[in-house]
Structures are given as structure tokens and as C-alpha cells.
Structure 1
Amino acid sequence: MKTILRTLSPIIFAVALVESYLRLTGTAIGALLSQYELYVFFILLLFLRYSWYVHLILHEGGHYLFGKLTGYQLLSFQVKKFVYNEKNKKITYIQSGPTVIAGQCLMSPPPKGSYAEKPFKLYLLGGVMMNGLTGIILYGCAYLLAPERGIILVIFSLVPLWMALSNSWPYGQNDGAIVSQASRSAEAKELLFYQLEIAALFEEGATFTELPDRYFLPLAEGRYLKTNLADFLYMAAYLKALGVLDFEGADRLLQSFAANRPVTRSAYWPIFVVESLFCDAVFGRKQAAKEKYAKIQKNLVLKQQWNTSKRVEAAYAFFVEVDMSRAKSLLKQAKQNLDGLAMPAEKEIEKRLTEWLQGYFVA
């Protein structure tokens, strides 16, 4: 039911917005349709489809603008698989790995002041405000034109207005949800800044194993587990454990994640499922690994994550299927994919684990 509502919501929103324009201008839809040839509507739909990229850039630009106004410093700017890094002033194309996010403007918070004093709302809601302002301008200007021209502006206002609405309404881990969660308590706000500081450390070249233990104390002490902001810490702690080949510790973290958080509603759910299969394979829990594998093959999102992790595929082939030839082939692909990873910290983990798996094939 929720999936159906998510699918229908933008359609209902678009129909309502167009209908309101027609009513306010006293225009009949039939009269407008008769003004254009059929091919014009196909062209409009094509432009509307690709206008999403323009508004995605504007959305991330809004984060940047309002972040700068409140003392934040740019770390990286991502649109789909293109990432601009402020430190080296280079644009990188992510060749491998899933595009988990459509875009991201990653900034480090102001260095001075306590967590309680640091601003965050304008930075996080900057994209929403930019999309909302763009949509309102387009929709408002439609009333300055004749209806047969104004309806075109109304149509092009749909994407930014929907982006503003869907990102501001707290759901999952969108901008509105993060602001809502971080505003609930000083502790939750602290988790938000932990995440931003860890991201800044990564941009400076730090690896997962070099992350200070203080960031993960809330997990060890069982604090702050009622917020989605804890999910990032779980996955970062998991990768830190893998970085030193502490598979028992990594496995315990995933089990704790599943016990304390609604994992299926987390943005990290696909990663969690695939990595938990990796742990099942390593520890010889073959039946559990096979059940997860069957689940992954039936789910498009999980399968996408699976297909981008050749290291996990290789572990499954070796420990569960006992297919040495396939495992060797997958490990070779895993090594080839290392250069396509955007984060050096992620590359370091994958390289370490790939070399560990290869150790089983050394005569």
C-alpha cells in the first residue's frame, strides 16, 4: 500500500497543481490542448524528464549557498556519479559501486563552538528552499502569460515543487527527516555532527581504521538508538572492524544493528543485507547465507547492491558454493573495481579484504 501511495503521490500532486491553474485562469483543458500538435507534448515530457538534473544541481547548490552563509566549508559536491572534490579541485567519475544518492553537497560544520551552538537547519534545508523558490517563481510567472504559454511554466514548476515537498516532509533519511531528528535532542544533534566530522576526516584522507573511537561510544553504551542518525555510525563501525580483520566484532555490530534499529527502513538496508551475507559466509553459516542470497536475487535494490560487491560474491562462491574457479574470477574483478571507488577509505577496506580472501589461494 505504501509503495502504491509513493507512486501515485507525485501524479496526484501534478494533477492538483495543473487543475488549480486552470480553475484560477478560467481555462478549459480542451482549449489548451487544441493549441498544440501532439509531438509538442512528447518534447515537453522529454524536457521535463531531464529538467530533474537541473533542479538536482540547484538543490545541492542550495545546500552549498546556505551552508556557506552559516559558516560551513565545502568538502565535495556530487551529482549522480560525478563528484567534485574541493581539496584537489578535481571532478571524478565513480566507475563502480551503486549510486546510493542522487546528489550530495558535503560540507564541514563551523570549527568553533560546541555542538549545541553549531547551526545546521539552513544547511540541511538549503536544497528544499532553493527548489521551492524555483518552483514558486515558475508557477507564479505562469499567471503573467496567456494560458496557452503559462501552462508550460506550470508543467516545468512541477519537478522543483515536488522535490521541495518530498524532501521537506520527514520521511526515511531525507533532509526534512534529518532536521526533525537532529532537533529532538542535544544527543541526536551530536550524532549529526559526528557524521559530518567523519565525512570531513574521509575527505582529508583518513581511513576507517583511523577514525577516533569516541565517535562510536554511543553504540557501545547503547545510547541514541532511537534515531536514524545512529545507522551511519553502525556501518562506519562495521567497516572499521573489517579494516583490522576483526570479523567477530564486525558480525556483532551487524547483529546489534538488526536488534536495535528498524533495519528495513534504513537507507543502509541494502548494504546491511549484503554485508550480513558476507559474515554468514565467513563464519560458515551456509543455510543463512543461501537464504539471504535467494532474497537478494528477488529484490531489485538488493540485487543492485550485490552486483557491485564482487568481494562479497567471491566470499559466497568460496565459502558457501565451494566454487574455487568462480571465486578466483570474482576476486580478479574486485581488484579491477578498486580504482573506480570514489572514497579512498572505502578503497582501503576493499583492498584489505580482497587480499585476505586471495590468501586462501596462495599455494
Structure 2
Amino acid sequence: MKQALKLILSTLFGACIGFGAVMFCIVMFTGTSVSDFLGKMGNVQIATLLMSCVLSMVCLILAVFVQIILHEAGHLVFGLATGYRFVSFRVGNITLIKDKGRFRFKRFSISGTGGQCLLSPPDRPYKQMPYFWYNAGGVLMNLLTAIIALVLWIMFPEAPLALHMFLLLFFICGFFLALMNGIPMKMSGITNDAFNLILMYKDPKSRKYLTQQLSINAALMTGTRLKDMPESWFTDDEITDYGNTFQVSAKAAYGSLYIDRGEFEAAEKTFRELMQHEGEIAGLFVKEISCELLFLELIGARRKEEIERLYTDKLKGYALRYKNMMSSKQRLLCALALYYDNQPEKAKEIYGKVARNRDRYLQQGEVTADLEIMEKMLRKAGMQP
């Protein structure tokens, strides 16, 4: 969704640049001064043009924002209609969750996405899992609302200018987002809705992986740790396609399970196997796996050259960017402070901050596990958490 927003806004920006280029050429090659050019256009025309540009920008941003909400609402409505249960609804980094029977807002985001609707799967064998409507719901909602906006735009040509403009842009944005998600493609290695549908149609195991991931995610949000979840939710199957995000995510979940169990050698082996195919894996997974490999190196062999190879400026920026949304990044920063920067007090401060703010994190099961790991690190270093 973020890519769509950037593309739409860059198109409008390009139009402004184009207008400026036209004015520049007229001034440079016709001997017309800027003041003459603007004068010929007339003050009223200039004011009208500027107001139209501002109005267009506001309507465009609003249309994109509403269409993103509607896209995720499509997943929600069609998912609930086919037996799924509500877990979370995110637009930007604002996430609505259901916690102990009450709805709450928390902050969370995923690189490359503008929104996300997560549901827990119905209790059925994965081969019978209803996957079509849940995945297609967003595209259908964008397309349906875009058509309605176009019909209203045609039927009411005398509507106020702002409304008329909004309806047209709402149609364009909705149709564009429907295409962006309805034509199978990958953006930054992340598969869109149509691509996911094809994967699940061709490979029934992808349905199993999706079912497992949705179940794991729902349990983490309610405070269950990975090591306390059913073994059947995890799979260590051999990956046949490293471009298949479902397969990679399932394998990575097993690595995270090993970390929660304290089986660090097994976790490192799992993540290194994945990183042997770095060029085929989505960039988001590469960053997540790199963070875990760096953490495992810090609490393990602590080879300086390996730490420096993994701890790039990009990875540092990634960890800092998501530290207040993912407790696993705080766990990594705690290990860096303790074992690499030799700042035990800073490590203790990081642990204390996570402990104080644990309720703000989205995945409560992950927070519990990360706090326990950090506490063990600090005690091993002779510090009282």
C-alpha cells in the first residue's frame, strides 16, 4: 500500500514539475519574462490554479487513505463471513486489537505495507481452509467502492467541486489499488493478495503455512509464548521455493521457537540455512533473520568480524526504527550494549524500559520471552535486573 501511495503522490508531484518545466521553456526560448508569463495567465487564473492544486492534493490524500482502510475492511468482512475471527486491524502504524474482550489501539508497522488485517483461522483441516474470500476481499472492496464512486461522479455533475473531484480521485485510487493487489506481483519481495491466492491454489501446503502463521500471531497477541504453543503450529519442512513467503515464514518461525526454548545452536543453524538463499528471500525477512543471527552471535561465539559483518548501518537503523514496536529489537539492542559496546548500565536501562512499557507492545507473548532472555543475560553478567 505504501508503494501505491508513493506512486500516486509522485505522479501528482510529476505533474507540478511538468508545469514548471513548461513555464521554464517558454521563458527561456520565447523571450517572455516570468512576470509576463504569469501576467498573461492572469491573477485570477493563477489563484484558481493554485487552489485547484491544493484541493486536488487534499482530495487525493484523503481518497488514498480511505481506500487503504476499505481494502483492509474488505479482508475483515469477507474473512469474518467465511469463519475467521478478529485479531487486529492496522492502518499505517495504528493498530486496533481485541484484548481480553475489549478493543484497544496500539502502534505497530511492517516495512512496505500501509495496512494489514489479521484474523485467526477457523477450526478446519488446512486443506479445507477457506482462503479465497479472505485474500480477495481487499481487492473486491476497492473495486466495488471505486465503481460506486464513478457512478456517483457521472450521475451528479453539478455536485460541489470538492466532492466532484474527490469522487473522481476516489475512483482512480480504488481502481489503481485493486490493480496493484489484483495483478499477481511482488513488491520489495512481499507478495500481494493475488500472488498469495495463486500460491495457495497451486500449493496446498501454503494454506497450512498461512493457517499456522495466523494461529501463532493470534496467540502471541494474547500473551502465549512460542514454546507454549502446540507443536503442530510449527513446521520444519524443507523449503522448495525461497521466493514463497509462506514457506520462509514457517521456517523462520521455527528458528524463533528455538530462541524461546533457549536452543540457540539450533536457532542459528535454522537462520543460517535461510540466509544461504539471501538473494531469493524477501528483504523484510533478510533483515529479521540478520537481527536474530546478530543476537545469536553476541550471546554465543562473539566473533568481532562476524558481528561487524552483520551489524551494518542499515540493520542498525532497522532495529532502532522498530524498537518501540517489536521487543525482539530491544532484546538485540540489549545484547549489543552488554556484549559489544560494553555498557552494562545501558543494557539494564533497555531491559527496564521494556518491562515498564510491556503493555504497549502488540505481541505480548514475544515481550514475555524477550524480557526473560534479557533478564538471564543481565544476571549472567552479574547485574540485578
How far off is 1:204 after superposition?
Answer: 5.2
- The one-letter code of the counterpart of 2:77 is L
Which of 56, 81, 87 is the equivalent residue of 1:44?
56
CA contact (8 A) 1:187 1:224 kept: no
Contact 2:67–2:170, Cα closer than 8 Å, also in 1:
no
Q: Cα 1:13–1:119, aligned 2, differ >3 Å: closer, same or farther?
A: farther
Q: Does the alignment pair 1:180 with 2:198?
A: yes
Secondary structure (helix, strand or coil) at the match of 1:116 reads: helix
Residue 118 of structure 1, CA deviation? 2.3
Conserved 8 A contact 1:243-1:352? no
- Shift in alpha-carbon separation, 1:297–1:268, aligned structure 2, 3 A: closer
Quote the RMSD (CA, aligned, Å): 3.4
Q: Please name the residue that 1:67 is paired with.
A: 79
Larger Rg: 2
Q: Which residues of 2 match residues 120-135 of structure 1 at below 5 A? A: 120-135=131-146
1:146-200 C-alpha deviation (Å, 9 max, x unpaired) = 4995554222323322222222233223222221211112222222222223334
Give 1:121 deviation, angstroms. Answer: 0.9
Percent of matched pairs sharing the same residue: 22
Corresponding residue for 2:178?
Answer: 164
Q: Is the 8 A contact 1:75 1:87 kept in 2?
A: no
User: Does the Cα contact within 8 Å between 2:227 and 2:260 map onto a contact in 1?
Assistant: yes
**Secondary structure at 1:135 match in 2:** helix
**In the alignment, structure 1 residue 362 sits paired with structure 2 residue 383:** yes
Cα deviation code 1:273-318 (max 9, x no counterpart): 22222122222022222232234268x5565246762321121122
Give the letter aligned to residue 180 of structure 1: I
Q: TM-score, normalised by structure 2?
A: 0.75
CA apart distance, 1:143: 2.9
Structure 2 unmatched ranges of 5 or more: 16-40
Counterpart residue number, 1:55: 67
Contact 2:106/2:361 (<8 A) preserved? no
Equivalent in the alignment of 2:24: none
State the 1:130 CA deviation: 0.5
TM-fit CA distance, 1:6? 10
Report the counterpart of residue 21 of structure 1 in structure 2: none
Please give the alpha-carbon distance, in whole angstroms, between the structure 2 residues aligned to 1:263 and 1:225. 9
Q: Secondary structure at the match of 1:66?
A: helix
1:148-227 matches, within 5 Å, as: 149=161, 150-169=164-183, 170-171=185-186, 172-203=190-221, 205-217=223-235, 219=236, 221-226=237-242, 227=244
Q: Report the counterpart of residue 27 of structure 1 in structure 2.
A: none
Equivalent in the alignment of 2:116: 104
What does 1:237-276 correspond to in 2, within 5 Å? 237-260=254-277, 262=279, 264-276=281-293
CA distance in 1, matches of 2:121, 2:348: 44
Partner-residue secondary structure (3-state), 2:155 = coil
SS at 1:183's partner residue? Answer: helix
| Separation of aligned partners in 2, 1:14 and 1:142 | 24
Cα distance between partner residues in 1 of 2:101 and 2:314: 38
Alignment partner of 2:104 out of 91, 95, 98: 91
| Count of residues paired in the alignment | 339
Q: Which moved more, 1:206-215 or 1:118-127?
A: 206-215
CA 291–282 in structure 1, closer or farther in 2 if over 3 Å, else same: same
Give me the whole-angstrom Cα distance separating, in 2, the residues matched to 1:324 and 1:282. Answer: 14
Amino acid at match of 1:134: T
What SS does the corresponding residue of 1:231 show, helix, strand or coil?
helix
